[in-house]
Amino acid sequence: MTTAARYGRQRSKAYGAGRAAARGLALALIALPGSLLCFVLTAVSLALIPVGVGLVTTPHVLAGVRTYANRRRVLAAEWGGVRIPPAYRPLPPGANPWTRTVAPLRDPATWRDLRWLPVDMTAGFVTALLPAALVLYPLEGLALAAGLWRVFPDGYWYGFVPVDGPASALGAGALALVLLLLGHFRAARLLGAHFLLTRAVLGSDQEALAERVRVLTETRRDAVDTSAAELRRIERDLHDGAQARLVAMGMDLGTVEALLDTDPEQARELLARARRSSADALGELRDLVRGIHPPVLAERGLGDAVRALALRLPVATEVTVELPGRAEAPVESAAYFAVSELLTNAVKHSGADRIWVDLHRADGFLRMTVTDNGKGGAALGAGSGLRGVERRLAAFDGVLAVSSPVGGPTLVTLELPCALS
């Protein structure tokens, strides 16, 4: 490792330690008063239920506790990379005041929130404060070693070091350096420990299972809807295209039969038109088959199919493929049509004059990126077709990420779990 790289790495660690200390301090300042307030308000509201006041206050207090807990879940994901999915039971529509009070109290997730509040105001407070203490407390020891000890004529304790002179002040400075070094390497992990503690109390296997069931239910519904829409498209294309041409060709041939003896010249023209209709119908059938499952995809795999797709685009497209084998046919098909939709969007909406496609496999995932140098501004749900691509991938546990600042460039990344053969 070069000196510059080593310096950059140490600088990054120092920045990470400082950021963890600042975040830990913010969490500590929130955890103690916030959890204490929520806990007291909940206890008082529950105690007032027998006299009727709690029936009015408890739904609002529990909603506030849920909001507070959900905010901590967001911070755990953003600051610590720890995902804690919520799994609250929804209230029935049109619930009366009694149901709005009793239903949350029957929800196990509510009691997990309430058990978490005392943990958060005690152990959570300590684990959040530790990163800040390891980074900030050494500053006091260094200040004592620099001469601040003279301000305390009766002596001063820094940690376990009694500071009453120059020698002991240097000892305090040495201890401060040890703590600062420990904070430099461990502050971020200590902050992660705070979020792991939060997940241990707030999270549950049942929550994860419920979230998984919800996702599978949603993706199954989307897959069924997509399949039905695809069948309707195929039926419409057959009815309006090839079927209409074949019907017209049959009528022309019937007319030819009647004209063979009386008007051979017109019969010859009708035969030529029937031949053109049959060629057009065959072309439409081929296009329809290509739209269902392109032959090049079945014969030569995803890489060559995307290259063939890029050759038909009016925009210069560069395709890079690093796939050591082939994925399963359904995965290849989903990936092909997802890339096809993205390329169509780029051509129609981006105003780009160059597109780059990269296909490779890493860590058990088929990763695909489509980049263009257009005007940017693409977003999920903006009518660009990206939502349909996301639904197509979700059926295979795939994900889609979009980076498209105004002014460009646009980078769309797709990931599909797969095993190559």
- Render each residue's pLDDT in the chain as its tens digit; 421 residues: 444 434 344 444 455 677 877 888 888 888 888 999 999 999 999 998 888 888 888 888 998 999 999 888 888 888 888 888 777 777 777 777 788 888 888 888 889 999 999 999 888 888 888 888 777 777 777 777 777 777 776 767 767 777 777 777 777 778 778 777 777 777 778 788 888 888 888 876 655 566 566 656 665 666 566 556 666 766 666 666 666 767 777 777 777 777 766 777 777 777 777 777 777 767 666 665 555 566 777 778 888 888 888 888 888 889 888 888 887 877 888 888 888 888 888 888 888 888 999 988 877 788 888 888 888 887 766 455 677 777 777 777 788 888 888 887 888 888 888 765 5
CA dist., res. 344 & res. 347, Å (int): 5
Q: Angle at CA 376, nearest 5°, toward 374 and 379? A: 140
Query: According to the model, what pLDDT value does residue 28 have?
Result: 86
Residue 70 identity (one-letter amino acid): N
CA dist., res. 126 & res. 129, Å (int): 5
Categorise residue 159: left if φ over 0, alpha if ψ from -120 to 50, beta otherwise: left
Query: According to the model, what pLDDT value does residue 9 have?
Result: 46
- DSSP letters of 139-165? HHHHHHHTTGGGG-TT-EEETTEEE-S
Query: According to the model, what pLDDT value does residue 237 have?
Result: 62
Task: Return phi, psi of residue 358, to 5°.
Answer: -130, 125
Strands 354-362, 316-322: pairing is parallel
Strand, coil or helix: 408: coil
* CB neighbour burial string for 231-260, b if at least 16 within 10 angstroms, e if fewer: eeeeeebeeebbeebbeebeebeebbeebe
Q: CB within 8 A of 236, min separation 6: which ones?
A: none
CA dist., res. 187 & res. 131, Å (int): 5
What the block records as the tokens of 323 is 């796939």
Would you say the C-alpha torsion 390, 396, 397, 401 has a positive or negative sign? negative
Gyration radius from the chain CA atoms: 33
361, β-bridge pairs:
366
CA dist., res. 326 & res. 322, Å (int): 11
Query: According to the model, what pLDDT value does residue 5 have?
Result: 39
Cα 282 to the center of its chain, rounded Å:
43
What the block records as the tokens of 256 is 């030819």
Q: CB within 8 A of 30, min separation 6: which ones?
A: none
- Which of 192, 202, 190, 197 is closest to 73 using CA atoms? 202
Query: According to the model, what pLDDT value does residue 6 have?
Result: 46
Question: Please, are residues 339 and 309 in contact by the beta-carbon 8 Å criterion?
Answer: yes
